Every structure is written in C-alpha cells, then in structure tokens.
C-alpha cells in the first residue's frame, strides 16, 4: 500500500474530507494520530459500526495511531436522530455498555508497537466539568446560527416534535472531544460516518478558534445502503448485532451469504481485507456465474471468522450444509442447531404427529392431501431422511437434541418443528 487515501477511495470509504490533498500529505508524512467515536446507545455494536471499526484498522495497518473513543458522556445525551428524541438511559446502564463496546472494539486493533491503539472515554474529561465551565470554555465558541444548519438539527426543527436543548448541545460535546484529544494526544484527524459530518466539522471549528496554528482534518465514510433501498445491516429479523447473544453467528453468516448481487462488490471492498486482485477476481466470478455466489460465500466466511472466530464460522458452515443434506444434522451442537433453525419457518407442537400433519402444520404443504402427494412423489424428508410411507409417524428417537425436527420439501424448502410437551 503506497497511499492510504487512494486505497480508501478505491474501496469506497471516502465520502467527504476537509481538504483531500492536505489530508493525503499529512497521512503520507505521518504517522497521524486519529480518532473515531462510538456512543453506547445499545448493549452492542452493529454492522454499521463495523465499517468504522475496520476503517480504523486499515488506518492503523497503514502506520497511523488510533484513538478509539467510547462515549460515556455523549452516550448519556445521544446524537440527534432525524425523527424523534432518544430515550435517555441511566448512567449505570451506559457504564456497562461502555465496557461491552470497548471489549468488542479492542480485538480489531493492535495495542503494541509505535502506533499502539489507545481506548479513551470522554467521561474522563467531562465528569468534573461544571455547567458554567462548559458554557464559558466551550459554548462561548459556538454560533447558534451555524449549529442550526446541521442536517440532523434542521430536520428535527422541521418535525412536529422539535429538538430538545439536550440533543441540540450534542455537537458541543463532540467538538470538545476533538479539542481534548488534540491537546492530550496530538490527535489531528477525526473519522466517522457521513451522517456525522456536522459534528466532525464542529470539532474542527472549535480547534481552529482555540488553537489557531493547528492543522486538523476530518474524514467521513459513506453510509451504506442496500440496492433495494432498505437500511444496511437490517435483516428480516432486525438489526445485525456483533454480539452473538443478540445476533447468532449463524444469522450473521446467512446475512452475508444472502447479499444481493448488486451489493456484494461494494460490501466486499468496504469490509474485506482481501487484496484488490482477489476482490476483482470475485467480482468477475459474480458477473460470470452469479448462481455460484462465490463472492457472498467468501465475504460471509471472512467476516464471520473475523467477528466470531474460526471455530464458530466452521460450525455455522457445517450447519448450513447439513440443513440441505450435505452433512449430518446429528453432529451439530445444540446451540448452533437452534440458531440455524431459528432462521427457518417453524412450528411448535406438543406431541409427535404424523409426517403429513407436520408438513401441513409448518406450512410446507397447504393441506394433508398435498403433503401425502409430496411423500408419494419422493420429495418429503425428515432430518434429511426421505419419507417413503404416507402414514409415517416420527419417533422420539428422531428428535435432534430431544426436541427438534428438520423438514424439507424437495431440495430447498426447509422448515423446523419443535416438539415440546406443554
């Protein structure tokens, strides 16, 4: 890598910068100390945050020093959303979430060497500050007319709900973060999503007012969306979280495996650490043989390994294969099987029923007569075993981990049944 700016641009990771040529020179002359902030507004990061975390990693690999900020202070306020006020969480909850987010970010960064990463918390420099000090030392340097032009603020002013003074003040806090990190660590670059551009430039303006000789920069990555217009990182079951308890590794893997062909090239460039040559070859394969889903499989495996580890990735790949008869369902551990079946149409029954009843119950057949026809034609499977008798009844020994059945009609139509008395 000869120029990190060119690399970021090729990967589609530069939406805006304050002065591209000045930033390019600063990064080339480097190393540059930079920061990116994450507010603990939930118990986990999601894949939208992953874009920022991996961009931090790229900049560190290029020789620059990252400060990863988890906002124990800004998390208590909340960046204004376009539509409505955030629900404020209590400080104890936010404190727990700070620790969880730190633990999610740390594995992606190196804390050794000349450009070792540092984790920081803006509560460290705000907790002891009085309201009077904040207004005199920070608020004095902000102009309300300029604050009103920020996109998130302007949208809220046009809404019925308006905006509270609390959320309106958020950009002062983020601006102070940049100033404080500049003074403490010599931080001269702030990185974030393009929806944060107003907050990024607020920090630049504050530093220029108080440190007129400082040369500081801002870099915004584009917000990722799906080709169909829906939000990136949203699956049918909701947000794709990095915490395995909130989004299972199986669901995480399936999200990338099911990526639209129109999106996969963009996602790979932004999220994969494969070389240009490798990515261009996968893009070529997608164009020539889209049904093979080579790019989707490659990205699903790389990201699942990165986020959840090689063992979990292997387990979910085995589960995916086993569901379609390419492996032994009985060999899957209970947690992986449960996660895989949660992604399928499913039904819960209180007793063992005839196969045709189960196929009807779970929606694989519209009626019992249709289910019998499927059996007669050789297209009905229970736990990957073909059902040959129209009056077949599953036995207790057929239950996977004592409670589950995997039903399949034909090659691709799957459903799950949980047998649980009561």
Residues 110-137 have pLDDT tens digits of 999 999 999 999 999 999 999 999 999 9
Q: How far lies 261's CA from each of 213, 264, 266, 293, in Å?
A: 48, 5, 10, 8
Are residues 205 and 82 part of one domain? yes
Are residues 163 and 34 part of one domain? yes
Longest dimension (CA), the chain: 84
Asked if residue 227 belongs to a domain, the reply is no
Are residues 92 and 63 part of one domain? yes
Confidence at residue 237, expressed as pLDDT on a 0 to 100 scale: 67
Residues 48-64 have pLDDT tens digits of 999 999 999 999 999 99
Asked if residue 341 belongs to a domain, the reply is no
Q: Which of 286, 310, 335 is the last residue of a domain?
A: 335
Read off the CATH number of the domain in which 195 is found.
Answer: 3.40.50.620
Q: Are 54 and 221 in contact (CB under 8 A)?
A: no
Are residues 316 and 251 part of one domain? yes
Are residues 327 and 239 part of one domain? yes
Are residues 164 and 102 part of one domain? yes
End-to-end alpha carbon distance in the chain:
61
Quickly list H helices, 309-365: 310-323, 334-342, 355-362
Average pLDDT over residues 152-180: 89
Q: For residue 241, is the peptide bond before it cis, meaning its omega torsion is within 30 degrees of 0?
A: no
The rounded mean pLDDT for the chain is 92
Asked if residue 145 belongs to a domain, the reply is yes
Are residues 253 and 309 part of one domain? yes
Burial of 15 (0-12, 13-18, 19+ CB in 10 A): middle
Q: Tell me 107's DSSP state.
A: G
Are residues 272 and 123 part of one domain? no
Confidence at residue 1, expressed as pLDDT on a 0 to 100 scale: 41
Are residues 298 and 259 part of one domain? yes
Q: Residue 258: give the domain boundaries.
A: 234-335
Are residues 259 and 177 part of one domain? no
Confidence at residue 68, expressed as pLDDT on a 0 to 100 scale: 98
Read off the CATH number of the domain in which 391 is found.
Answer: 3.10.290.10
User: Domains in the chain: how many in total?
Assistant: 3
pTM of this structure: 0.89
Residue 422 in this model has a pLDDT that exceeds 80: no
Closest CA to 413 of 361, 352, 360, 345: 345
Closest CA to 178 of 209, 206, 150: 206
Residues 182-200 have pLDDT tens digits of 999 999 999 999 988 888 9
Are residues 162 and 131 part of one domain? yes
Are residues 145 and 112 part of one domain? yes
Asked if residue 410 belongs to a domain, the reply is yes
Torsion of CA 127, 130, 136, 138, to 10 degrees: 10
Asked if residue 168 belongs to a domain, the reply is yes
């Amino acid at each position: 890598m000869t120029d990190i700016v060119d690399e970021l641009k090729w990967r589609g990771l530069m939406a805006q910068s304050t002065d591209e040529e000045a930033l390019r020179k600063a990064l080339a002359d480097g190393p540059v100390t930079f920061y990116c902030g994450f507010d603990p507004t939930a118990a986990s990061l999601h894949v939208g945050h992953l874009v920022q975390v991996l961009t931090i990693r790229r900049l560190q690999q290029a020789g620059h020093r990252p400060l990863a900020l988890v906002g124990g202070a800004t998390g208590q306020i909340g960046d204004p959303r376009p539509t409505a006020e955030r629900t404020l969480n209590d400080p104890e909850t936010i404190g727990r979430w700070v620790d969880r987010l730190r633990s999610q970010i740390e594995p992606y960064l190196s804390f050794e060497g000349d450009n070792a990463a540092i984790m920081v918390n803006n509560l460290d420099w705000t907790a002891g500050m009085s309201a009077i000090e904040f207004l005199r030392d920070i608020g004095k340097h902000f102009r309300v007319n300029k604050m009103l032009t920020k996109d998130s603020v302007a949208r809220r002013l046009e809404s019925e709900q308006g905006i509270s003074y609390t959320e309106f003040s958020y950009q002062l806090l983020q601006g102070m973060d940049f100033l404080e990190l500049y003074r403490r660590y010599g931080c001269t670059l702030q990185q974030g999503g393009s929806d944060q551009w107003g907050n990024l430039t607020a920090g630049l303006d504050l530093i220029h007012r108080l440190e007129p000789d400082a040369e500081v920069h801002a870099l915004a990555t584009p917000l990722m969306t799906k080709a169909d217009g829906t939000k990136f990182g949203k699956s049918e079951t909701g947000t794709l979280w990095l915490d395995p308890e909130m989004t299972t590794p199986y669901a995480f893997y399936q999200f990338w495996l099911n990526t639209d062909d129109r999106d996969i090239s963009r996602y790979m460039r932004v999220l994969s650490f494969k070389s240009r040559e490798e990515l261009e070859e996968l893009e070529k394969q997608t164009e020539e043989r889209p049904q093979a889903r080579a790019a989707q499989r490659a990205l699903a495996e790389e990201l699942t390994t990165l986020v959840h580890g090689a063992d979990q990735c292997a387990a979910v790949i085995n589960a995916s294969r086993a569901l379609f008869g390419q492996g032994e369902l009985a060999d899957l551990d209970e947690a992986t099987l449960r996660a895989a079946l949660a992604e399928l149409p499913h039904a819960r029954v209180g007793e063992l029923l005839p196969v045709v009843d189960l196929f009807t119950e779970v929606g694989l057949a519209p009626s019992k007569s249709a289910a019998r026809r499927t059996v007669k034609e050789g297209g009905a499977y229970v736990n990957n075993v073909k059902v040959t008798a129209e009056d077949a009844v599953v036995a207790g020994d057929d239950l996977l981990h004592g409670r589950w059945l995997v039903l399949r009609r034909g090659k691709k139509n799957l459903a799950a049944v949980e047998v649980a008395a009561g």
